[in-house]
Structure 1
């Protein structure tokens, strides 16, 4: 990684690196642009500019939104990943007002459910991973001191809404694990009760049953089933930094029942 330049204004360098988030060259995009910006966020370079930087990244979520199969996905996806870094930094230093985090949360959630390009990797151009990066941003938002029960409930619904949307894409690049990790971040706050979680799991279970063995219904079932399995595993084992939620025992019972009911081979004869 290159050191932060001292011979040019930080705003100019930031604008150049932000533009490179949409590069089709994976080294430019991930190592140079994302790598440098993320490092400077983490080391405090942007602490006094964090609100503006996060706003700029949230604007990147709108670039080409609605397109599928085009290169604009890179700008949206890596902007979301940097949104996660901005929120993580705010969680560490706690300098931004509640309104700023709520605005960011709304922008991330709106983009997340509208994103249509679910490719994990693009041949010759490297990782896209829009859903994984969106889940990372949601995981960091869940830790924010400004997010209480209403906001955490919305984040849970956003994760479910996204997973249950009709799609022709099977998520095979680790997305279910990242979605589950975001869910664990929400549960780790020990605020959301089982009275909310139980119907939430039931809603996912309904989408995990494939009525049509082909097409979008099959892809949705495949993705939702893998999300439930990843969530069950992470609730069982715990995840680094999140511990085990207080509702763990009750939630495991609900998850096991959901998996049993959506997998014929596991049902009692």
Structure 2
């Protein structure tokens, strides 16, 4: 087994005793390992650094992206939910395939295992990891931002018994907010995706306790309202960027929230 910790300690230098393609294949497998100390340990940092530095060539990066896109159909939760992290690394490095967006769009609203953390498997974070990739795709010039906004609405309205408990609502709200900074969005584009949410939840009969997916949706939209008012940060230490049509988004959010809570 490769000692990824020693590679990390050597400033991520590529070992001379193994072909790089073999190492990348090992990293790909490690990012789907059921052992969280392997999946979320030094191997993660090695892959991220090799992608960022261009250590892995463009052709192999595209192949890696295809592997991750196929992994959205993997039967194992940990394999599916770490695939968007790797794709996010690749998109951030400038790699892109339209097929990756299609695979992500099929998986994200359909994912059933929404646990943030499992005692055995460690971090899973389907919603949060998917949200990060949604933001990256939503800011990519080859992806229509409205497609990612509609995808966020589909995730928010998908039935689930799991209440977000590891800041998934904040991560998804931040991702939506980042997409809403796109300069090519019209005011209608920035708000039309909320219609599906209002129509889905606004017509239901009042019931208690509140269903998990409604609670998740409400908390996500409330956080988005704050971001629409204050701006959204690309990173924790970057300045807040205003939403393209912040006032219109706030107004539409208020109407949507009112329709849901007064149903």
What is the alpha-carbon distance in structure 2 between the residues aligned to residue 167 and residue 115 of structure 1?
10
Structure 2: gaps of 5 or more residues: 235-239
State the partner residue of 2:26.
Answer: 16
What is the alpha-carbon distance in structure 2 between the residues aligned to residue 230 and residue 168 of structure 1?
21
What is the alpha-carbon distance in structure 2 between the residues aligned to residue 52 and residue 84 of structure 1?
14
State the partner residue of 2:149.
Answer: 156
Matched, 1:111 2:133: no
Shift of 1:191: 2.1
Alignment of 1:81-230 (within 5 A): 81-90=85-94, 100-147=96-143, 151-208=144-201, 211-214=206-209, 218-230=211-223
1:244 to 239, 242, 247: 242
Shift of 1:254: 1.9
TM-score norm. by structure 2 comes to 0.85
Matched, 1:75 2:79: yes
TM-score norm. by structure 1 comes to 0.83
Aligned residues: 245
What is the alpha-carbon distance in structure 1 between the residues aligned to residue 220 and residue 158 of structure 2?
13
State the partner residue of 2:72.
Answer: 61
Shift of 1:204: 2.1
Map Cα deviations across residues 176-220 of structure 1 (whole Å, 9 max, x no partner): 112112212211112222223334223323445573324xx7111
What is the alpha-carbon distance in structure 1 between the residues aligned to residue 151 and residue 20 of structure 2?
35
What is the alpha-carbon distance in structure 2 between the residues aligned to residue 245 and residue 51 of structure 1?
32
Contact 2:201 2:214 in 1 (8 A): yes
Structure 1: gaps of 5 or more residues: 65-71, 91-95
4+ runs deviating over 6 angstroms: none
State the partner residue of 1:42.
Answer: 52
What is the alpha-carbon distance in structure 1 between the residues aligned to residue 54 and residue 131 of structure 2?
23
Shift of 1:128: 0.4
